[in-house]
Amino acid sequence: MQRTLWIFILVASAVCAGQNPFTAPNHEPEFQEVQTSSLYVPMRDGVRIAIDVLLPRGLRAGQKLPAIFKISRFGRAAVDRSLSDEDSFWVHHGFARVLIDERGTGASFGTSRYGAETVRDLYDIVEWVVAQPWCNGRVGAIGVSVEGTASELLAATNHPAVRAVAPWFSDYNYYTDLVRPGGMFNEWILKNFEDFTLQMDSGGSAKHVDGDPAGVLMRQAIAEHRDNLDIYSATKDALFIDDPIATTGKTLLDISIPGTAASLRKSKVPMLIFASWYDAGTVQGTIQRFRKFSNAQRIFVGAWSHGANSNADPFLAPSAVEPDREQQRREALQFFNRHLKYVSREVDSDRHFSYYTIGKDQWQSTDVWPPNGLRKVTYQLNSNGKLDRKNSGGSLNVRLQTTSTGERNRWHTQLGGGPVDYSAALEKMSTLTSFVTAPLQAPMEITGQPVLRLRFTCSQQDPSIIAYLVAIDRKGNAFYLTEGHLRLLQRKRDVSEQTLHTYARRDAQPVPKDQETDADLTLLPTSVFLQKGTRLRLLLASGDEATFASSGGYEATISPSSQLELPVK
């Protein structure tokens, strides 16, 4: 009966355009109090990993629970030993909560590992958990950002006890989605990430285990963290997607989710995924995962900051996040109840992609991506500065200059989940080279990945381009929609790639001086509804000093055959 109920709830939550997809009901807590313990668990190579186990107080004799992992790079729990609302929520609702300091972090011994190299440790921890008398033999994981990536890697263990994972706001392909979108180095995020990581690895996130009250073992573990990888230097030197990171012998692609793709597909582990149109390039990875992995996937793509701390729809006045944190937890609870408690013998085949359309304040859903019903609309970059359906002929001489999108852009939100708001930056970006459409004669919905196909000439040896797509309403107000990047050295086209480029060293092509060059830029995916009378503006820059390393401004001549392609309904 319980299994039938959960299948009914899931089917009932399937949405069509305009309906709220967040339908998980409220469940009263099963328990009121939490008891905690912590210890070191040895891995197969002898390295000790620090773990907290949170259980409901008052378990009946013989009562068993599923386990929900938190796999942390920056501290499994508060140093002051207080409990977070998130951890308490899972225990109150009948789950064991297992908090883990990854190898080389927090109070764990060893040096840090990334990607597939973490899978062995996760397997060993699952083995330990399912052997505990309180465990029902089923394990899942949920996490945001790097903890979301770690949650997904849990599925790559292919351990039979791992039944469901929830990677939220996590990076799929580190190279294309975060570190070097379009081949351009994300200077700001990598430098700040390294500074924060160094602070945490030096003891800022370390909580001692129960058997080490004086912290003697913890200090020994922290001393081993000194050999952790310098992420900033290692990634800055890895110019291409197939370049090894420092002395690891691994590439950014190797340590990303695609590096464990075969294991993840084999696992068939269902996933619950939250992502945002405005969170770095994470939605690009969300779409890639949906298209490449046959695993059951329940996806929500909204207009939020990183972690859904705030709304990011530029067309709406500031307001509370929808769904709020409590409803987000209800969605996760429904998911894990289904897969870890009320378990069906049938393989879960649910694949549903719910996405928010900016400017319409409405959710839509699809079981395929791109959604059905799209068509391509092409605008020409004309010499009069207009985006037009017709080519007016003539080239345009421009100077592409470095701009700044400020401190509230889609990349900065990745560290801390701060708000995404381009309104102030767009005022300062008005001097950039731009092309603008006439007012739309009818409403338009853009859903998917726009493509800018440039043909131009420049004298710069190693130029980069950033394209910003902006909407202008009838009153002249500007609204940021999306952006795309390309280091021209990596412009070789490969239509089999999501971003149309391999970024491989073998495909590097120096830019010929003063000769026409073709370059395709994919803009990050979006879904936006534009009212009649809205104009679209395309802004071109050579860099963004707030975020990316830049080679400076340069002169260029844009050919009239350059085009902007939009996927529209």
Question: pLDDT band at residue 487, thresholds of 50, 70 and 90?
Answer: very high
Query: Quick one: residue 90, left, alpha or beta (phi over 0 = left, psi -120 to 50 = alpha)?
Result: alpha
Check residues 317 and 28 and name the one with the higher pLDDT: 28
Lowest-confidence region among 7-11, 284-288, 294-298, 561-565 = 7-11
Average pLDDT over residues 447-454: 98
Burial of 291 (0-12, 13-18, 19+ CB in 10 A): exposed
* Measured distance CA(380)–CA(521) in Å, rounded: 15
Burial of 419 (0-12, 13-18, 19+ CB in 10 A): middle
In sequence order, the β-bridge partners of residue 355 are: 301, 364
Average pLDDT over residues 218-246: 96
Average pLDDT over residues 336-355: 82
Question: pLDDT band at residue 11, thresholds of 50, 70 and 90?
Answer: very low
Q: Which residues contact 539 (CB under 8 A, 6 or more apart)?
A: 403, 429, 432, 433, 434, 467, 468, 469, 470
Q: pLDDT tens-digit profile of 242-256?
A: 999 998 999 999 999
Contact 284/176 with Cβ under 8 angstroms?
A: yes
Contact 123/159 with Cβ under 8 angstroms?
A: yes
Q: pLDDT tens-digit profile of 520-533?
A: 999 999 999 999 99
Q: Which two tokens stand for residue 26?
A: 């409220």
Contact 266/293 with Cβ under 8 angstroms?
A: no
Q: pLDDT tens-digit profile of 348-392?
A: 568 999 999 999 999 999 999 999 999 999 999 999 999 999 988
pLDDT given at position 317: 87
Phi, psi dihedrals of residue 100, rounded to the nearest 5°:
-130, 130
Q: Is 316 in a helix, a strand, or coil? A: coil
pLDDT given at position 459: 84
Q: Is 152 in a helix, a strand, or coil? A: helix
pLDDT given at position 13: 39
Average pLDDT over residues 100-112: 98
Q: What angle do CA 17, 21, 24 make, to 5 degrees?
A: 160
pTM greater than the 0.85 cutoff? yes
Q: List b or e across 523-544, with b for residues whose CB sees 16 or more CB atoms inside 10 angstroms.
A: bbbbbbbbbeebbbbbbbbbbb
Contact 225/104 with Cβ under 8 angstroms?
A: yes
Please, what is the average pLDDT of the chain?
94
Is it the case that residue 7 has pLDDT exceeding 50? no
Is it the case that residue 393 has pLDDT exceeding 90? no
pLDDT given at position 5: 39
* Measured distance CA(225)–CA(44) in Å, rounded: 19
pLDDT given at position 348: 58
Average pLDDT over residues 404-413: 98
